[in-house]
Structure 1
Amino acid sequence: MPIHGFDYHAPSVRYASEAAQRAGGADRVRFEVASAKSFPGSDYDLAAMFDCLHDMGDPAGASHHVWNSLKPDGMWMIVEPFAQDRLEQNLNPVGRIFYSASTFICTPASRAQEGAMCLGAQAGEKRIREAVTRGSFRRFRRATETPFNLIYEARP
C-alpha cells in the first residue's frame, strides 16, 4: 500500500515528489497538493501530522476531516512542539525559542487562513486536545515526548 502525503504548499509537494523519485521510492510514495480539511481518500489506517496542527486556522475542522478519513479502528498521530499549558511553565530556553518562532511563523500562518484560531507553537496539551476532540475524536492521549516534541494519539 503506498504512502500518501498532502500539503497545501505546491513547491513543497513538488520538492517531496522529486526527492522520492531521486531516492527510488516514487512507486511507494505519492504527494499531492491538498489542505488538511480537504485531502482525498478514506479508510486510512494511519494519519500523521508533523508540527503543523498549531499552524492551522481551523485545527478542529482539520481534525474532523481526519476523523472522517480514518477506518473505524484507525489512528491519528499528531506531533507538536513541546509545550505546557500555562505561559509560566514554558519560560525556559526551548519555550522561549518556540514563542519567538511562533510570533513570526505560526501565528501569522494561522491568521492568514480560514478560522484564524492562532494556537501557536506553545499551544499546550489542553488546547491541542480541545481542537482534536471538537473534531469528533473521542480518545486522545499523549503517547510519548521528547525535549522538543509532544506526540499524541487520537482515535475515533
Structure 2
Amino acid sequence: MDTTRIALRAIISAAFVACGLGAGAACAQSTFPPPAIQAEAAVGQKIAIWEQSNYSVLCRDLGTPTFQLESKPALGEVMPEWLSYTVPTGQRCEDMKFSGMIVWYQAGQVPGTDVVVWRVGFPREFGTHTPNTGDHRVTTTIVIR
C-alpha cells in the first residue's frame, strides 16, 4: 500500500473515531460533504478531496455511495474510488466492512485554480422508514501551486 493510501486510511479512521463518540443521527448528518470544499495541491499531486463510508448505527451496510461529475476540471482530473471500509478496533461495529468511496483529484502540470462540481448520494437501508438523504451537490475549488 502506498503512503498516500495509508495516510488517507488514518484520516478516515480519525473521522470515524469522532463520529463514534457522538450521537448516531447527528454524526450521520455531519459526515455529508459540505456544499463547498477548498483544497490545495502541488503540480502533479494526487489528493483526496472527500471520503466517506455508508453504514448505519445498527452496523448495517447501506450500500455504495453514488457519484456524478457535473463539471469537469480544466487543470486536472477527478475520479471516484469505491472501497471497502473496515471499522477500527474499539469502535462501534469494529472489524466489520462497509461500502465507502474516496473522491480523488489529480492535479495537472499547470499551476492555477481549478473548480469542479460533483454530486454524491447515499442509499438507505432497505426496509427502513427513513428516506435516503438525496444527492449532495459539492463545488470544489483546488489551488494548484
How high is the TM-score relative to the length of structure 1?
Answer: 0.31
The structure in which a higher percent of residues are helix is 1
Q: Larger RCO: Structure 1 or Structure 2 (Cα < 8 Å, ≥ 6 residues apart)?
A: 2
